[in-house]
Structure 1
Amino acid sequence: MSAPQTPATAPAKPVPARQRLRRPGGLFWILLLVAMLASGLLTMILSPASSERSLSPVNPAPRGAQAVARVLADKGVAVVQPDSLNTAIAALEAADGRATLLLHDPDGLLGPEQLNQLAAAAPRTVLVEPGAAALAAFAPGVTPADGTRDSRIVSASCAMPLAEAAPLLQATGRLYTGPLGCYPVPGTSGHPVVFSATATVLGSTSYLANRDIRGQGHSALALWTLGQEPQLIWYQPEFAELTADMPAPNPFLLLPGWFGPVMAWTLLMGLLAMFWRGRRLGPLVPERLPVVVPAAELIDGRARLYAHGRALDAVAANLRSGALTRMAHHYRLGTGAGVHQIIAAAEHAGVRTGPELDLLLNPAITSEQHLVAWANDLAQLEKEIGSP
């Protein structure tokens, strides 16, 4: 007689999304997400203003200049950071000649017309690593000089008060020549710091950066050049300061001529590969679960996993457990019998001595060859006992 067939159970209906949200688990994750968003917003609102820009007065990172800005503020210098060219010009005009402009434009974002407007409003300027356009607008008599960018200690050679405050300077970066240079670099015709009638040119950001402010003479140079007036306009142009008449660069013009055909061919081959791989297996075939998997396949699959992962201890533990189970069944000790009880029963039956059985049943496997030899010894022991 054939066994009666069990009727197939109807598939469970999908739970609507609204009911899933009402479950305790879904509500917990929603509340957790809302709490994380609220925490992030509060952190952004309550955290002090900071910037990741190099030489920014509110950047506490090694490349920032927050240390100099805070020391200047403690000495009574109001540090203002304008966000646009018009704001900087307005701040300079409102200061009525009692402000110093610090201009750091390493990317040369300001055009000649913008630089001239800024120079007309600034009575005193500190330029950090300026280019040719900035030098022409603020310090016409200063020009770049050839020289090494290696760091070295140089001595002051001028009668300015700066020489008394910083007789030695750790020079680094660019070198310039101009009307007055206070720190000549041997072997070159340039100076790391040059003065003109209304501008001071610094050849490196290291003189103001947080990580280098403790260099020889750096702090004295920074405070002397930036603390002359009661107000400091710290201006770093953004990309929005690009002049309107300057055409936007086309990045595709920088690519080689073969780039377009190669990209088109690669895209076509990618689409064909997706179409090929997507159709080679055919449509999905539904199959009822559960699926019966033969025990031999499970054993073979687990053995392959053990072999791939070199799990010698796991294999030895499985072999030992199986042997002890069969030995306990042979001596009718029950499923709860321990290793010592099984060893005592085998010793009493005269199979082997207790120390030999203890050494065999508690191995320390060190290699695959050792594991194979031990498995053979374990199988021989079971033959001697006569367990199935």
Structure 2
Amino acid sequence: MSAPVTEPSVSPEGTEVATVVRRGRAVLLWVLLLVVGGAVIAVAAGSPSPEEYLHPDGTGQGGTAALVTVLRDRGIDVRVAETSADAVRAAGDEAGSTIVLGNADLLTDTAARRLLRDSRGVDRIVVLDASARTLSLLGLDVSARGVAQEPGTADCTRPWVRPGDRVAPVLWMLVPGNGLRGASGCYPAPAPGRTTDPDALPPTGYAALDLPADGRHAAMTLVGFPDAATNRYVTDSANAGLLVRLLGASPRLVWYHPGIEDATDNPSQRDEGSVWPEWAGPALVLAGLAFVAFAVSRGRRLGRLVPEPLPVVVRATETTESRAELYRVADDRARAARILRHATLARLSRRLGLAPGAPLDALVDAVARATTMPPAQVDALLRDGPAPDEAGLVSLAQQLAHLEEKVARHD
């Protein structure tokens, strides 16, 4: 006589250890996701959005509301324009206006050409953020490079500069091309290896560059220290006084801050890159990798299945009664009727040998043949329809049960 076969048992201690390991792994995963999410948010918060940076109404660290307030207090008529057409219209055709181009992230080459072409009568155009992209869009023979060493004093004689003025921080050093005539630079950068003799080597670039008016554009001032105009740095060094003199030279100042509408109405005729900030791509990649890691960790089976004893045994009738009570409390008779019909359809399909998912019309015909009931009566009983009240729902359940019994007797 063979020995009885016994099922392998799992000790309570082993089950408890496995539960602790699973919970610890889940907690560690959520902590990792929180760290990654925090890093993404920090990167996003660290860079001002294209709409806020250098905006004349911006009160954050990247806005320029403080500078605009000072200009208005000095009697300057400051007007804000978000399209090149509005900027030209606000400046007018006669002298007495200065146009300042703030954040140019949303500027297109079409809008830039319109601005230069239609504003030749203004006193001056100030490009507050003369980055390489902005200079390329404007079609100027000037290049921009990063700052290797902060420039010293202005070392120039311009109406908006005072002796001893210093400016910080500087982002771009502007280098005029060989074909550019009449350009005058301020805040020169010392050449590498420069000696104590100021005339030993020529400067390699300027933090600000004045261009004379020509047939293509009005007089222009290119600025390589845009952050100096922001609320964060405007009170540092001589930033405030220098920028007030530069932007307040005319009685009217038109602050052109390109917006989405301008970029839509004036699409670029060449690919100048995305309007999304630079951190958007890496952030999306990082978020995607974090999601994939989360999905893999939650989806893979970590070892064999371990049987665990249920804390209590629940009878099927109690579960059915509990669900029925929930439907009754929610007064969801339509859903209860739909569940009853679907269960009857599944049982009738199996009993009559129909394929799963067979059309309702085919099932109605098969039931009518098996029970000799009229097809219309069978269709009305099996097809979804509202249950007017609880009595109607009870009647429906009884009719469905009776129908199943008739099909079973036919078999």
TM interval, short-chain normalised: 0.3 to 0.5
In the superposition, the TM-score normalised over structure 1's length comes to 0.48
In the superposition, the TM-score normalised over structure 2's length comes to 0.46
Higher Cα Rg, which structure: 1
Q: Which has the higher contact order (CA 8 A, sep 6+)?
A: 2
